[in-house]
Structure 1
Amino acid sequence: MRLTAYTDYSLRVLIYLASKEDHSLSNIKEISIAYGISKNHLMKVTYELGKMGVIETIRGRNGGIRLAHAPSEINIGKIVRQTEEDFFLVDCFNPDSPRPCVISPVCGLTHALNKALLAYLKVLDGYTLADLVQNPAAYREFFKKKLESE
């Protein structure tokens, strides 16, 4: 199973924001520098995270972005489900596939892969953003060095 870059970037933004002290505001430019990710990609990601209600976006000169909820309230499985386009591991998972699988009626692979997908998501459901950022100070130190080197 593989996450899209979009989901990866979404999780990275959340990790960055969770590492901030006192829920201080961040901006796309600093996150872009910290991760070496294009600002354009991050603008799309932060827009969607804002629509999902996971981050708060504040416009204006002193604006920025921050988490809308405590890291312990942000479930990783839920974020992955909301940011991934689909979970079609193989063509037979996609009812609109242009290449339907000819052995689907008798195939055991579909069942095994579906079971694996459900287990994968169940594991992610067991984690919150707080679990991923257990030592925010270490993240802050890492990001500080990265930003200073730019």
Structure 2
Amino acid sequence: MTASAYDTASKAYRPSKRARLVTWNVNSVRARIDLVDRFISLQDPDILCLQEIKVQTDQFPRSWFEERGYVHQAIAGQRNHHGVATLSRLPLEEIESADWCQKGDARHIAARLPGGVKLHNFYVPQGAMSQTAR
């Protein structure tokens, strides 16, 4: 038996002290949906944090993730670049996002988990200057 807080047979959340959280810079969730499916099958995370989803919030494949038990979702999408999504089998509350750079980029989403833990999901691009900017 795994330490997962999620009972895959009944698709019901069972409170426990442990949850499996994974994070992945997916670099386009729709282009890599087959890899995401395989990853979920192998790792069975309770919470999946994706960065660089590269899709607008209203075009995110919500129902695809719901069918796999991720019924609690916090998404900050953006067309063609950036974007973050927190997909959870555990309830998410107090969902919020911040525009840290004040450029309108979708790089952050936060939510409160059961027990009061606040989870922040960030997309942080590399900080090196491009050759043309030097």
Q: Does the alignment reach a TM-score above 0.5? A: no
TM-score by length of 2: 0.25
The structure with higher relative contact order (CA 8 Å, sep 6+) is: 1
Greater per-residue helix proportion: 1
For the pair shown, the structure with the greater C-alpha radius of gyration is 1
